[in-house]
Amino acid sequence: MKRVEIKITGIVQGIGFRPYIYNLAQKHFIRGWVLNNEKGVFIDAEGEDGYLDQFIQEIPKLAPPLARIESFQVKLLKPFGYITFEIRKSEEAQEKFVLISPDVATCDQCLSELFSQKNFRYRYPFINCTLCGPRFTIIQDIPYDRHKTTMAPFVMCPICQKEYEDPSDRRFHAQPNACPACGPSLHLEDRERKEVPGDSIENTLQLLKMGCIVAIKGLGGFHLACDARNQKAVSALRSRKFREDKPFAVMCSNMEEVKEHCEVNEEEEKLLLSVERPIVILRSKGNSTIAHAVAPYQDTLGVMLPYSPLHHLLLNGPLKTLVMTSGNISDEPIAYENEEAKSRLGNIADYFLFHNREIHMRCDDSVTRIVEGKPYILRRSRGYVPFPIKLSFPLEMILACGGELKNTFCLTRGQYAFMSHHIGDLENLETLTSFEEGIEHFKRLFYIEPRAIAYDLHPDYLSTKYALSIPDLPKVWTQHHHAHIVSAMAENGIEGDVIGVALDGTGFGTDSTIWGGEFIKANLKDFDRLAHLKKVPMPGGSMAIKEPWRMAMVYLSEAFGEEVKDLKIDLMRKGDPQKWNILKKAIKKKINTPWTSSMGRLFDAVSSLLSIRDEVHYEGQAAIELEMVADRSVKEKYSFHLRQDEKPMVIDSTEMIRGIVHDLTEGTPSSKISGKFHQTIAHLIVETCEIIRSEEKLNRVVLSGGVFQNIFLLSLVAEGLKRSGFDMYTHHLVPTNDGGISLGQAVIAHMRLFQCA
């Protein structure tokens, strides 16, 4: 007989850990108790030698999928002689702070009950247990208890109540526990708000099969759904949603169906099946029967698997793949309330599949892909949020307000950085309200009262204006690209000076120009700009982003001067010289023409030069399509010039533009030119890092910024840096795009204000 005390810290509360321990103890004839306190889970366990050892070994191995064990300590104690194993009442926590679980995909046990005719929850679309179901999106306040969730209005029936109170039951303290007798229910309405009688799921399926668009209320908001094989339905959805060609995500019934349409490797399969159930961007197969309009001009497809019981029921029928896109009009936040959906989506959806459980926090689907065998998160939201990013050292409580596009905010507490769900592009009142409400909610959930506020240097960002409007708190500005780099440093747990390569579309610089092709010497506190792309004018400001042909003309005239008009390339043939003349005057007179060192704009320019895209319908489109056509077998590159005599060093791409024009006039295919262009950019990144290394004696390179969503470029750069002996770091936990900068902002603010040295 042996007795041990086990202390477990990490994410072990509110995720079914105690019932799990209870059942594991039963299995191995262990006696004693388990309890929660503010430090974690404590177990006092007594049993026979062999059984006790197995019990200890199995705890981390079989833990609930949401558990994240950070430390596991076992101490031998004198035997006591317990008779039973019990779950003790939690010690009144000194500190009320606990972690909160994200929403979790339906578990296998619930799934088999869902489809088991004998089960009283057969086909019940809200089945869940301690291991699965809604969490973050239904929590109104803490502590996490049913009456503080949107499940409060549903009084549990005796059967549900019994499960809820039984420590050996899978539904012990499962706050959203429900059944058809006592829980939420579905109803289907048409556009005239008339309820459609009958089985809502069967009816919805019929409507989808007929080509209708149905707004479906999910975990974190409404999806707009239609049959992904029905070209007409998908096109109708596009035009009603005012979304010209930005790809839609789809939901497939199972892995087999995913493989019908996409190439899937082992890691991608794992990510698709993970409890987070994100959208995974996969390479699409040429013979897929999915309508072209789902992802026009793309060789990839964003795919997810069903993650709620309702999804499983919908996809268990004849339709194996549905378009499931956010329920919003263009860039607004996703609709999440029934009345709101009726008014906002009334002109898009033909029918509405509602349920009567409220969503407290809207939360979009997360978007990921696998890069070099590892997950690469492009939008960190449902399934991940509000799990914190663990930092390598504790921070003061700080609110970081993020950027403008793909905004997230971040609140820190000790070693935890709580990054928010995807808020969206902070460009309208609707999104701003969602941002402000989100901040208040997170502050309450995690007992965070910020001592400082971090914000982006850009004076016009709504997030900046919000930060500056908060009274009585110290405020710390952060430069956009520095924040990108520190964000990547923080998630990798590195400190000290590094070479930061921050490449993106737009970020406000300390000289009030727009940066975006930046090489900085950075640490967690400060940075020094060492090199950047040569500055060029952006005629029309934001119009130059929407119309890449403008950047193409700028780069051409930089390279050729007055000879531009004689160039025998498509852009000149189809372009309107009149329009260009107006822009030239604007540049000369400095009217609405900021200057930029942006890498994103250079990609835009080349995309337009190759006649791939002259005007974009969504952020990054020109660059994405340029990446897509690239011939990856090309090894040649163009020449470029590093002006080392200037400080910061200037990377001049004039020669490259001349090379591209030369290739164009020779009739070289776009695929080849794009391949060469990517090789050139990768090469200039590595070469610039090499020069910086020899001067600064730094060997660690950190990559960040939206340009690194370009996987082809990222892999070329990684390869080149490795070959040159650099240690390279990039993102895996937070997005490389602007959705990731709030983390970096928080760390910078902490270092500036609270870290002396």
**Contact positions vs Fe ion (CB under 5 A):** 504, 507, 738
**Binding status of residue 160 toward Zn ion by CB under 5 A:** yes
Contact 258, 264 (CB under 8 A): yes
**Binding status of residue 586 toward Zn ion by CB under 5 A:** no
Counting Cα atoms < 13 Å in the Cβ hemisphere of 494 gives: 22
Q: Least CB distance from residue 367 to Fe ion, whole Å? A: 17
Q: Which is nearer to Fe ion, 177 or 478 (CB)?
A: 478
Which residue in the shown chain puts its C-beta closest to Fe ion?
504
What's the burial of 414, exposed, middle or buried (CB within 10 Å: 0-12/13-18/19+)? middle
Measure the CA–CA gap between 183 and 190, rounded to whole angstroms: 23
Closest among 684, 682, 560, 670 to 612, alpha carbons compared: 670
**Selected binder of Zn ion within 21, 43, 59, 179 (CB under 5 A):** 179
Contact 48, 105 (CB under 8 A): no
**Selected binder of Zn ion within 56, 59, 67, 110 (CB under 5 A):** 110
DSSP bridge partners of 66: none
Q: Which is nearer to Fe ion, 309 or 744 (CB)?
A: 744
Q: Least CB distance from residue 134 to Zn ion, whole Å? A: 11
Taking CB under 5 A as the binding criterion, the range among 107-115, 361-369, 611-619, 683-691 that sits at the site for Zn ion is 107-115
- Binding partner at 698 among Fe ion, Zn ion, none, C-beta below 5 to 8 Å by kind: none
Q: Least CB distance from residue 133 to Fe ion, whole Å? A: 35
* Residue 393: strand, helix, or coil: strand
- Binding partner at 196 among Fe ion, Zn ion, none, C-beta below 5 to 8 Å by kind: none
DSSP state of 617: S
> Which residue pairs from 720-724 have beta carbons closer than 8 angstroms and sit at least 24 positions apart in sequence?
720/682, 720/683, 720/685, 720/686, 721/685, 721/686, 721/689, 723/686, 724/686, 724/689, 724/690
**Binding status of residue 182 toward Zn ion by CB under 5 A:** yes
Distance of CA 481 to the CA centre of its chain: 19
Measure the CA–CA gap between 753 and 397, rounded to whole angstroms: 11
Q: Least CB distance from residue 516 to Fe ion, whole Å? A: 7
Q: What tokens does 606 get?
A: 């080349």
Q: Least CB distance from residue 609 to Fe ion, whole Å? A: 24
Q: Which is nearer to Fe ion, 134 or 507 (CB)?
A: 507
Using DSSP, how many helices (H) and how many strands (E) does the chain show? 23, 30
- Binding partner at 207 among Zn ion, Fe ion, none, C-beta below 5 to 8 Å by kind: none
Contacts of 167 (CB under 8 A, 6+ apart): 18, 19, 22, 86, 87
**Span 121-150, contacts to Zn ion by CB under 5 A:** 129, 131-132
H/E run at residue 239: helix 231-241
Indicate left, alpha or beta for 197 from its phi (over 0: left) and psi (-120 to 50: alpha). beta
Q: Which is nearer to Zn ion, 180 or 541 (CB)?
A: 180
Q: Least CB distance from residue 315 to Zn ion, whole Å? A: 18
Q: Which is nearer to Fe ion, 332 or 518 (CB)?
A: 518
- Binding partner at 210 among Zn ion, Fe ion, none, C-beta below 5 to 8 Å by kind: none
**Pairing mode, strands 514-522 and 498-508:** antiparallel
Q: Which is nearer to Zn ion, 105 or 208 (CB)?
A: 105
- Binding partner at 182 among Fe ion, Zn ion, none, C-beta below 5 to 8 Å by kind: Zn ion
Q: Which is nearer to Fe ion, 137 or 745 (CB)?
A: 745
DSSP bridge partners of 728: 701
Contacts of 345 (CB under 8 A, 6+ apart): 215, 222, 224, 327, 328, 329, 335, 352
Q: Least CB distance from residue 689 to Fe ion, whole Å? A: 19
The residue count for binding Zn ion (CB under 5 A) is 10
- Binding partner at 626 among Fe ion, Zn ion, none, C-beta below 5 to 8 Å by kind: none
Q: Which is nearer to Fe ion, 327 or 507 (CB)?
A: 507
Q: Least CB distance from residue 509 to Fe ion, whole Å? A: 12
**Binding status of residue 624 toward Zn ion by CB under 5 A:** no
**Binding status of residue 157 toward Zn ion by CB under 5 A:** yes
**Binding status of residue 399 toward Zn ion by CB under 5 A:** no
Contact 69, 8 (CB under 8 A): yes
Q: Least CB distance from residue 38 to Fe ion, whole Å? A: 38
Q: Least CB distance from residue 706 to Fe ion, whole Å? A: 5
**Binding status of residue 107 toward Zn ion by CB under 5 A:** yes
Closest among 581, 497, 441 to 139, alpha carbons compared: 441
Q: Which is nearer to Fe ion, 545 or 556 (CB)?
A: 545
Contact 738, 402 (CB under 8 A): yes
Taking CB under 5 A as the binding criterion, the range among 42-50, 105-113, 506-514, 530-538 that sits at the site for Zn ion is 105-113
Q: Least CB distance from residue 558 to Fe ion, whole Å? A: 24
* Residue 237: strand, helix, or coil: helix
Q: Which is nearer to Fe ion, 276 or 456 (CB)?
A: 456
Closest among 287, 324, 292, 289 to 305, alpha carbons compared: 324
- Binding partner at 738 among Zn ion, Fe ion, none, C-beta below 5 to 8 Å by kind: Fe ion
**Pairing mode, strands 527-533 and 536-537:** unpaired
**Binding status of residue 439 toward Zn ion by CB under 5 A:** no
Helix axes 654-665, 548-560, angle to 10 degrees: 100
Q: Which is nearer to Zn ion, 182 or 494 (CB)?
A: 182
**Span 446-465, contacts to Zn ion by CB under 5 A:** none
**Binding status of residue 114 toward Zn ion by CB under 5 A:** no
Contact 559, 654 (CB under 8 A): yes
Q: Which is nearer to Zn ion, 131 or 713 (CB)?
A: 131
- Binding partner at 107 among Fe ion, Zn ion, none, C-beta below 5 to 8 Å by kind: Zn ion
Distance of CA 147 to the CA centre of its chain: 30
Q: Which is nearer to Fe ion, 125 or 507 (CB)?
A: 507
Q: Which is nearer to Zn ion, 158 or 561 (CB)?
A: 158
Residue count of the chain: 757
Applying CB under 5 A, the residues found at the interface with Zn ion are 107, 110, 129, 131-132, 157, 160, 179, 181-182
